[in-house]
Structure formats: C-alpha cells, structure tokens
Amino acid sequence: MPSGALSPRSLRLLGLAGILLIALNVRSAVAALSPLAARIDADIALDPTAIGLLGVVPPVAFALSGIVAPLVARRWGLERSLLLAVLAMVVGHLLRAAAPDYLALVLGTAIVLMGAGFGNVLLPPAVKRYAPLALGTVTAAYATLMSISTALPPAIGVPVADAVDWRVALGLWAVVAVLAAAPWAVLALRPPRPPAPTDPPTGEIDLAVAIEQPDTGRFRDLRRSRVAWGITIAFTASSMTAYSVFAILPLVLQDVAGLSEAAAGTALAVFAIVGLPLSLIAPVLVGRLRRPTPLIVMGAACGVAGFSGMLLLPTAAPLLWVALMGAGQVLFPVCLALISQRSDGPATATTLSGFVQAVGYSIAASVPLAFGGINALTGSWAPALIVLATVALLALTAIPFLRSGETVDAELARRAR
C-alpha cells in the first residue's frame, strides 16, 4: 500500500518505529571499534596515535552533521534525510568490516558516523513531529535504546571476534541498520502536502503535512540565546567525556587497572548499561522540572568521582569508577529532552539540535587524539583522567543559563522586543 494511503495513526506508528530503530543504531558504530583494537591491530596496524585518530572521527562526524543535517532536512525533508542517514550507516558498517587498510577503516568509520550524526541531529525534531504530546516518554525510550546500542557492541564484540573474526563483529551491525531503513523508506515515499492556511490548530499533529522547514538563519540567532548555550555547555561536557571513554577506556583499564582485554570490553559495556535507567528517567524528569539543576549536578558529581577514582585508586574498584563515569552521562538524555522541551516546534528543534551538536562535538573532537598523543609521549593516562574530571566539573556552569525555564523561541522573541 503506498504510504500516501496510510492513515495518520499508521504514519505516526511508523515514525515512532523509525525513531526507535535509528536510536538502536546511532551509538553502535562508536562503541564497536575500541574493544576490538587489539584484534584489528593484527591485520591493520593501530598504535595509540592511530587509535586516538579513530576516536576523533565520531565527534568530527557528529559536528559536521550538526551543520549539514539541518540544511539537508530543509531541502529534502525530515523523512528522506533520515532514510539517507540509515543507508549511510549500512554502507559504512560494511566498508569498515571489509577494510584492507587503515585508510579504508577510517573512511568506513567516517561514513557510518555521518549517518549516525544525522540521526543524532534529526531525532529530536522527529519526536517533536511524531510524538508532540509525549516528548518526555518517547525521548526516554529512544535515549534508552541509544544506551543499549552503546552497551551491546562491547559486550558481544570480543566473543564474536573469538568465534569468527573481528570483521564479522564489526559488520553484523549493518543488519540492524537495514531494519531501521524500512519505516523511513515508507515515510520518505509519502508525498508531502503543505498545510492549508485555514487548517484549524489541533492537539494532534497532522502527519499528512510536510515538516515545518528549519530556518537556517536561526543558527546565527542561537548564538545570542542563553538557553541554547546552557544546553550546549552540558552537551559538550557529556560529549568530551563520552567519546574519550569510547576511545581510550579499554586501554586505560588494561594499562592502569590491570584488566584483561575481555574484562575491559565488559567494563565498557557497564559504562553504557548504567545509562539505561537514567535514560528512562531523566527525560521524564526534565519534563516535570522547571529547571534541570539537580540532574546537571548529579551528572557532574558522578563524572568527577569516576575519573578521580580511576586516577587515584585504579585497581581498588575499577568497575565502580566505570559505573560512576556512566552515571555522569545522564547529561546526554537531559540535553536531548531539553532540545525538544525548549523548542516551540520541529523547525526550532532541528536548528537547536544542529547548533548544540555542531558546537559540542567540534570541541570534543580534539580530545581523544590529544589523549592518544600525550600517552604516546608520556606513557601515562593520568593527564587524560585529570582533564576528564575537570570537564565533568565544568558542566555545572550550564546551570545559570537554564534557570529561566523559557523556550529558545520565547527568549529570542523577548530579546527582539
């Protein structure tokens, strides 16, 4: 049945399925590689600097997506842009699984992560479009699936590599990405119809109309928004710590805490698993709290405790330190929820999501490479852990920017007056 013949309810359910399936994909490409670094090194040389460079690819790709995705969504529409994102993930997974050398490995990683970056940017406006009356619940659901997609690759990657090969362990995630393409392929074929000027406003979203187009000019306006900067500060702290952990934590645990390769991979899965209940609860709490201050304080405190514990007492309780680092990532679902909550419509959500992620990931991009280089020079991970504890603490500076509780639209309108 052509998608244009589907009822609004069916389109809504397809959109929700698409949102959840993309969420199950956006982190798997990031988390799948580092636990397999030693296996890959047998075929493709990976020294600490090379691993650090691979760690830079996720935030760079996500930062570029923050700039490009709103432009593509404006030109092609939300559904076609998300379909493009999923197809890029499929191609990227397969390319790096078949990579004959380091350059192909980096290229495949960049492609899959550009697709994941598009998903990161466009999921908040997709929630705003397909679930406008359940922002907290749907954001909690997809943030939870993001945590699952972070936890699964480290947990099963090494066993699959042991049983078959590291290439299979990387390439199997293409299957999950293919599943996510189905609902967006149907929705992308739905012919858009602009809303009639006389259409009455309702509490239900009209899924037969085209998505409100993001005004890319607002990107410049957001630089004047305290609300936008508050979300960006918290998101940047989360990104810097998360992607550094993905890149270096298995090596830190092996070199500093004395864990085996398999145990280090399991610990990285613990980092992600801890985020599961937080991803369920945090977006709902954001919807109920006028200010997200308690959640930001919790994220900063847990991050500082985790990185400091790994620095000072690495062998005492390594899994506890990793779990605290994971709890510090509560900032990520908080920011996702704030992007939707502090936007008045899908257009603002698209632009705000792009702004927050472009700035946050641009800053985060240099960190894993720097840590790899510093380790190569000094032979120590202590400088990296000190920096990461400091970054977690700096998340507290977001609190004053988010006190008002107003949306970006309302703030900019007030400033214009």
CB neighbour list of residue 352: distance below 8 Å, 6 or more residues apart:
124, 222, 228, 231, 339, 342, 343, 408
pLDDT of residue 111 exceeding 90: yes
Tokens of 342: 């502090």
Is 70 exceeded by the pLDDT of residue 79?
yes
Average pLDDT over residues 288-301: 92
At residue 181 the predicted structure's pLDDT band, cuts being 50, 70 and 90, is very high
Buried/exposed code over 225-255 (b: 16+ C-beta within 10 A; e: otherwise): bbbbbbbbbbbbbbbbbbbbbbbbbbbbbbb
Each residue of 206-258: pLDDT tens digit?
A: 443 334 444 444 677 888 899 999 999 999 999 899 878 877 888 899 988 98
The beta strands (E) that lie in 24-160 are given as none
Digit-coded pLDDT (tens) for 87-97: 999 999 999 99
Sequence spans of domains, the chain:
3-192+209-416
* pLDDT reported for residue 218: 67
Mean pLDDT of 65-90: 91
pLDDT at 308 over 90: yes
pLDDT at position 5: 61
SS3 47: coil
Instruction: Give the DSSP per-residue string, 257-291.
Output: S---HHHHHHHHHHHHHTHHHHHHHHHHHHHH-SS
pLDDT in tens, 366-402: 777 788 778 888 888 999 999 999 999 999 999 999 9
Q: How confident is the model at residue 350 (pLDDT cuts 50, 70, 90)?
A: confident
* 61 vs 195: CA distance, rounded Å: 34
Whether this model's pTM surpasses 0.75: yes
Give the single-character DSSP code of 313: -
What fold, for 3-192+209-416? Growth Hormone; Chain: A; (1.20.1250)
- Rounded Cα distance between 206 and 15, Å, is 13
Q: CB 17: neighbour CB atoms within 10 A?
A: 18
- Which residues, 6 or more positions from 9, have their beta carbon under 8 angstroms from its beta carbon? none
More confident residue, 401 or 196: 401
Model confidence at 205, pLDDT cuts 50, 70, 90, reads very low
Among the ranges given (76-85, 122-131, 295-304, 317-326), the one the predictor scored with the smallest mean pLDDT: 122-131
